[in-house]
């Protein structure tokens, strides 16, 4: 009755373009994998759930009295003091920080989301590493931002192909994402390589999002250099969080550190980040209450134990896989991963890395993520956070698998002699 | 050198349209208020920070042993069992729920964000209440979604003007937001009014986002009816969380309950919500670990104590303000607020509600949010969660303030005799 023009004739509720554009390759590949593990072998997951077996007692146990004391007088405040704690923890003479330079987020994922949201409009583009963490593309595409990939070079310990970066920048480039240390590569950039990256950004006038969630998770023979400490003129948003170094990904506390000594971001980007972070309030106050204790009182042995397990697994896994004909692992220097090249010409039974890793589950009950999850074909990623015995067992199963499927490639007789 | 065409000539980093479109009226008004409180009166905030003095010991203290036990064996799992807990807690014969119908979010704010993100494209519109919670507009506009307001009618205990709703629906209407119990009104809709709302939605084929964060927070003379229990054919996304009823807003645990018995949302909207919720993982696992205990073991006295304080403050505040010439409070039935009309013709010194509330701070050190924060002029909102003595003191200060500024309006002599 009455005015009917606007009325809809029947139900039709369709998901938005944003939700249709939201695509997570890890979910798509892992959730669509229909393969069953070999029932005669216990399952070894080197794919996701990476922190399963690392010991986080040192973070968690000493927390309890502080946490409970804090719970009792718990309030909603704490946002400012948390930002002060993070600012003073990451303050560096070359890259000073105050509370106003810190934005608290729900994990490093939200930190990256807010950085993209403030820097890029739909239709602009961002430069991301390949192989790289899939979330960059997932977030950007759901926001209508185009993704251009630059290559990491395995033969140069996964350094960035900087010529290519320079050729990819155009008028619509909103930012360059640099992930160091790297997921999935486990690589750590040298100071001089970082300086070259900064020189490109400075020349091209492109701001950087530095995903440094694995910051300080480097083996003793490498050094982690926070990107912002090496430049006074490139504006940098550094993203981090408690998830990796403190092994508590479920606690969802992350941050953005705003480095802008030349005032290129200026108040506008800063205010933009603040406004965006207030749409959905950030991290849980319980974790904020524990933050000071986590940052100040975590014993050195905790970091040391984590890194020495990772380093010894990295060596062990690299050594074992390097000896397997058909595989070409790249030695990692940090984080919790190792990438392994598959010489596909020697495994003609398998169409690609996805099939290779599926068959590895079916036959050997060892699960690794195919390089396709990181947009890098003919590789797979190994998570090295499992206990040593399991790492060894996994490597010997991978060896058995490769031996069973290895074929000499035509015209490369020498290879087969090894 | 080399290919230079794409290169930017100099730095120019501008915030995105999204960040420019992100506007939070409460922040804008509160943060821009330059007024100083009266130094001779202690400050009483009836504006925000609403849970300051309610006793949440009953939620927090019994948690501690469970929480710490759980911390020790803490994992990243828990997402499924949390969804099961919420599904069984809110399950109703008329509106059944399983774990797959529950999406976990970072507070009710993110629940609303994801609902908008899955239902609406930029350029579409949504219908929101006026007066209403400012976040609906803040989120929608930051996403390029148009907001159309429908009125709540103070003379009908803030029922919805349903004729107006019907006239506002057009081809581009993505959803109707219904907030019950209401912030800022403290109103609770009757069953028959809710049925009429559902009839409009059914006739117009518009899905509903039911913001039920204050669900069950109603005084003994009213009853809260979850919207989805009253309809089997209108698809409803019900948003809730721990923030209000359990008084822990900082814990950031919220949820979406998907009610879709006629399969109108179908798998597409469901999958869309799942995908969107995986972009940035949801609530902190510590709080998830405590969820079962919170839902199952919170003693009835806890809810009872909260509600009886709210009810007695509501009566007291309503009674006191109703007796003040120039003010027209509307009696609340739930939530933690009360709206008060200002007969501006009797306060000619003040241009509007913003000035009225600013002067109230300057002279009486009582802070209330102006109706403008809720897009409703010539009203102010009182938060009723303060201790009784403070509530009384605030009312008598408001009385003093009004007496000092009340003027007889021209041509309404009778009014002034009261
Ligand atoms: C490179 C990288 N960045 C960001 C994240 C997201 O971290 P969070 O779990 O804190 O959201 C991850 C998590 O795996 C990661 O590997
Ligand atoms: C009506 C309404 N909806 C949603 C919210 C947001 O709740 P949360 O703090 O869980 O994000 C609030 C908070 O004040 C509210 O009043």
Contact indicator for B182, B215 with CB cutoff of 8 Å: no
- Which candidate, A318, A334, A336, places its Cα nearest to that of A398? A318
- Which candidate, B393, B224, B381, B217, places its Cα nearest to that of B305? B217
- Which candidate, B131, B122, B139, places its Cα nearest to that of B23? B139
Give me the numbers of helices (H) and strands (E) for chain B, helices first please: 15, 13
Reading across the β-sheet that carries B159-160, which strands appear in turn? B102-105, B254-259, B236-241, B208-211, B173-179, B125-130, B146-153, B159-160
pLDDT band at B132 (very low <50, low <70, confident <90, very high): very high
Token pair belonging to B204? 């117009």
Using CA atoms, how far apart are residues B365 and B42, in angstroms rounded to an integer? 6
pLDDT, averaged across chain A: 87
- Which candidate, A31, A78, A92, places its Cα nearest to that of A230? A92
| A136 close to ligand 1 (CB < 6 Angstrom) | no
Least confident of A65-79, A155-169, B269-283, B388-402: A65-79
Pocket test for ligand 1, best of A184, A213, A247, A373 (most atoms within 8 A of CB): A213
Q: Which residue has the higher pLDDT, A404 or B279?
A: A404
Task: Please report which helix (H) or strand (E) contains residue B342, including its range.
Answer: strand B337-342
Least distant ligand from the CA of A211: 1
Task: Indicate the burial class of B129 (C-beta count within 10 angstroms; 0-12, 13-18, 19 or more).
Answer: buried
For residue A73, pLDDT over 50 is answered with no
Scan for tokens 């939530």, then name that residue. Answer: B335
Using DSSP, state whether A240 is helix, strand or coil. Answer: strand
Q: Give the pLDDT of residue B13.
A: 81
For residue B204, pLDDT over 70 is answered with yes
Q: What pLDDT digit, counting tens, does each position of A46-61 carry? A: 776 555 455 555 555 5
| A132 close to ligand 1 (CB < 6 Angstrom) | no
Task: Indicate the burial class of A303 (C-beta count within 10 angstroms; 0-12, 13-18, 19 or more).
Answer: middle
Using CA atoms, how far apart are residues A157 and B341, in angstroms rounded to an integer? 69
Q: Give the pLDDT of residue A385.
A: 87
- Distance (angstroms) between ligand 1 centre and the Cα of A251 equals 12
CB-CB neighbors (< 8 A) of A280 in chain B = 106-107, 109-110, 113
pLDDT band at B1 (very low <50, low <70, confident <90, very high): very low
pLDDT band at B42 (very low <50, low <70, confident <90, very high): confident
Write the DSSP string, A262-305.
T-SSHHHHHHHHHHHHHHS--S-HHHHHHHHHHHHH--HHHHHH
Q: In the predicted model, what is the mean pLDDT of residues B400-409? A: 93
Q: Give the pLDDT of residue A20.
A: 81
Residue of chain B nearest A268, judged by CA positions: B15
Residue A306 to residues A216, A246, A313, A365, B399, Cα–Cα distance (Å): 11, 9, 11, 26, 64
Task: Indicate the burial class of A149 (C-beta count within 10 angstroms; 0-12, 13-18, 19 or more).
Answer: middle
Q: Give the pLDDT of residue B410.
A: 64
Token pair belonging to A103? 């934005």
Using DSSP, state whether A386 is helix, strand or coil. Answer: coil
Can the peptide bond before residue A292 be classed as cis, meaning omega within 30 degrees of 0? no
Contact indicator for A103, A82 with CB cutoff of 8 Å: no
Q: In the predicted model, what is the mean pLDDT of residues A272-277? A: 89
Who among B10, B171, B286 is closest to A286 (CB)?
Answer: B286
Q: What pLDDT digit, counting tens, does each position of A99-148 carry? A: 999 999 999 999 999 999 999 999 999 999 999 999 999 999 989 999 99
| B184 close to ligand 2 (CB < 6 Angstrom) | no
Contact A15 B268 (CB under 8 A): yes
Using DSSP, state whether B4 is helix, strand or coil. Answer: coil
Which residues does B46 contact at the CB level (< 8 Å), separation at least 6? Answer: B366, B367, B368, B381, B382, B383, B384, B386, B394
Contact indicator for B38, B364 with CB cutoff of 8 Å: yes
Classify strands A236-241 and A254-259 as parallel, antiparallel or unpaired: antiparallel
Q: Give the pLDDT of residue A54.
A: 59
Token pair belonging to A396? 């010997």
Least confident of A212-216, A322-326, A339-343, A382-386: A382-386
Can the peptide bond before residue A135 be classed as cis, meaning omega within 30 degrees of 0? no
Task: Please report which helix (H) or strand (E) contains residue A129, including its range.
Answer: strand A125-130
What does DSSP assign to residue B10?
Answer: S
Q: What pLDDT digit, counting tens, does each position of A297-332 carry? A: 888 888 888 899 899 999 999 999 999 999 999 999
- Which candidate, A71, A62, A284, A250, places its Cα nearest to that of B62? A71
Q: Give the pLDDT of residue A62.
A: 55
Pocket test for ligand 1, best of A109, A113, A189, A251 (most atoms within 8 A of CB): A109
For residue B5, pLDDT over 90 is answered with no
pLDDT band at B404 (very low <50, low <70, confident <90, very high): very high
Q: Give the pLDDT of residue A69.
A: 54
Least distant ligand from the CA of A245: 1
Who among A109, A269, A281 is closest to B252 (CB)?
Answer: A281
How close, in Å, is residue B327 to chain A by CA atoms?
Answer: 32
pLDDT band at B135 (very low <50, low <70, confident <90, very high): very high
- Which candidate, A359, A361, A362, A325, places its Cα nearest to that of A340? A325
Q: Give the pLDDT of residue B59.
A: 60
Using CA atoms, how far apart are residues A140 and A125, in angstroms rounded to an integer? 9
Task: Indicate the burial class of B187 (C-beta count within 10 angstroms; 0-12, 13-18, 19 or more).
Answer: buried
Q: In the predicted model, what is the mean pLDDT of residues A78-89? A: 88
ipTM exceeding 0.90, yes/no: no
* pTM (predicted TM-score): 0.89
pLDDT band at A74 (very low <50, low <70, confident <90, very high): very low
Q: Give the pLDDT of residue B23.
A: 76
Q: Give the pLDDT of residue A297.
A: 80
Using CA atoms, how far apart are residues A227 and A236, in angstroms rounded to an integer? 8
Least confident of A319-333, B37-51, B157-171: B37-51
Least confident of A18-22, A365-369, B14-18, B252-256: A18-22
Using CA atoms, how far apart are residues A230 and A240, in angstroms rounded to an integer? 18
Who among A15, A143, A251 is closest to B286 (CB)?
Answer: A251
Contact indicator for A299, A57 with CB cutoff of 8 Å: no
Which residues does A217 contact at the CB level (< 8 Å), separation at least 6? Answer: A181, A224, A244, A245, A306, A307, A310, A334, A335, A336
Q: In the predicted model, what is the mean pLDDT of residues B250-256? A: 91
Which residues does A253 contact at the CB level (< 8 Å), separation at least 6? Answer: A104, A105, A106, A107, A241, A242, A243, A283, A284, A287, A288, A291
φ/ψ (deg, to 5) at A20: -65, -30
For residue A198, count other CB atoms closer than 10 A to its CB: 20
Classify strands A236-241 and A327-330 as parallel, antiparallel or unpaired: unpaired
Contact indicator for B295, B248 with CB cutoff of 8 Å: no
For residue A370, pLDDT over 60 is answered with yes
Q: In the predicted model, what is the mean pLDDT of residues B395-400? A: 96
How close, in Å, is residue A345 to chain B by CA atoms?
Answer: 36
Residue A383 to residues A54, A151, A394, B351, Cα–Cα distance (Å): 12, 22, 11, 65
Residue B129 to residues B168, B215, B349, Cα–Cα distance (Å): 12, 17, 30
CB-CB neighbors (< 8 A) of A121 in chain B = 16-18
Please state the length of chain A.
Answer: 418
Contact indicator for B323, B395 with CB cutoff of 8 Å: no
Token pair belonging to B398? 């408001």
Token pair belonging to B17? 């349209």
Q: Give the pLDDT of residue A200.
A: 97
CB-CB neighbors (< 8 A) of A4 in chain B = none
CB-CB neighbors (< 8 A) of A51 in chain B = 76
Contact A265 B13 (CB under 8 A): yes
Q: Give the pLDDT of residue B75.
A: 43
Q: Give the pLDDT of residue B280.
A: 82
For residue B114, count other CB atoms closer than 10 A to its CB: 29
The vertex-A408 CA angle with A406 and A409, nearest 5°, equals 115
Residue to mutate among A175, A243, A252, A276, with most B CBs inside 10 A, is: A252
Q: What pLDDT digit, counting tens, does each position of B293-338 carry? A: 788 888 888 888 889 989 999 999 999 999 999 999 999 999 999 9
Scan for tokens 């800063």, then name that residue. Answer: A270
- Which candidate, A166, A198, A58, places its Cα nearest to that of B3? A166
For residue B277, pLDDT over 50 is answered with yes
Percent of chain B with pLDDT over 90: 63
CB-CB neighbors (< 8 A) of B19 in chain A = 117-118, 272-273, 275-276
For residue A417, pLDDT over 50 is answered with no
Q: What pLDDT digit, counting tens, does each position of A338-360 carry? A: 999 999 999 999 999 999 999 99
Residue A257 β-bridge partners: A102, A238
Contact A60 B51 (CB under 8 A): no
Classify strands A159-160 and A173-179 as parallel, antiparallel or unpaired: unpaired
CB-CB neighbors (< 8 A) of B110 in chain A = 280
Using CA atoms, how far apart are residues B303 and B242, in angstroms rounded to an integer? 13
| A385 close to ligand 1 (CB < 6 Angstrom) | no
pLDDT band at B205 (very low <50, low <70, confident <90, very high): very high
Using CA atoms, how far apart are residues B348 and A114, in angstroms rounded to an integer? 45
Who among A2, A109, A251 is closest to B285 (CB)?
Answer: A251
Q: Give the pLDDT of residue A76.
A: 37
Q: Give the pLDDT of residue A275.
A: 87
């Amino acid at each position: 009755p009455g005015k009917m023009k606007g009325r809809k004739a029947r139900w039709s509720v369709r998901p938005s373009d944003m939700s249709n554009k939201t695509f997570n390759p890890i979910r798509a590949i892992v959730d669509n994998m229909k393969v069953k593990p070999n029932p005669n072998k216990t399952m070894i997951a080197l794919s996701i759930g990476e922190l399963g077996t690392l010991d986080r007692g040192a973070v968690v146990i000493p927390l309890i009295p502080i946490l409970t004391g804090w719970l009792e007088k718990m309030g909603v405040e704490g946002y400012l003091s948390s930002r002060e704690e993070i600012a003073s923890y990451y303050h560096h003479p070359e890259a000073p920080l105050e509370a106003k330079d810190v934005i608290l987020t729900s994990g490093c994922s939200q930190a990256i989301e807010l950085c993209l949201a403030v820097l890029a409009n739909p239709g602009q583009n961002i430069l991301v590493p390949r192989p790289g963490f899939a979330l960059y593309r997932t977030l950007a595409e759901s926001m209508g931002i185009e993704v251009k990939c630059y290559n990491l070079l395995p033969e140069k310990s996964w350094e960035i192909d900087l010529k290519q970066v320079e050729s990819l920048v155009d008028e619509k480039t909103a930012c360059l994402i640099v992930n160091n240390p790297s997921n999935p590569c486990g690589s750590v950039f040298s100071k001089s390589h970082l300086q070259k990256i900064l020189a490109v950004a400075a020349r091209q006038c492109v701001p950087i999002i530095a995903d440094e969630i694995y910051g300080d998770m480097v083996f003793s023979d490498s050094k982690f250099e926070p990107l912002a400490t090496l430049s006074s003129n490139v504006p940098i948003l550094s993203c981090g969080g408690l998830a990796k170094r403190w092994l508590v990904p479920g606690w969802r506390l992350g941050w953005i550190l705003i480095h802008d000594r030349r005032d290129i971001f200026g108040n506008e980007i800063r205010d933009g980040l603040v406004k965006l972070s207030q749409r959905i309030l950030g991290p849980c106050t319980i974790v904020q209450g524990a933050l000071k204790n986590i940052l100040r009182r975590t014993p050195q042995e905790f970091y040391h134990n984590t890194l020495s397990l990772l380093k010894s697994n990295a060596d062990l896994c690299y050594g074992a896989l390097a000896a397997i004909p058909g595989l070409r692992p790249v030695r990692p220097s940090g984080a919790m991963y190792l990438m392994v090249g598959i010489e596909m010409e020697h495994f003609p039974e398998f169409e690609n890395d996805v099939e290779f890793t599926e068959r590895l589950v079916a036959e050997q009950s060892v699960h690794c993520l195919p390089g396709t999850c990181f947009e890098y074909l003919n590789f797979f990623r190994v998570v090295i956070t499992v206990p040593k015995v399991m790492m060894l067992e996994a490597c010997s199963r991978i060896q058995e698998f490769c031996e069973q499927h290895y074929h000499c490639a035509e015209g490369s007789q020498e290879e087969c002699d090894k």
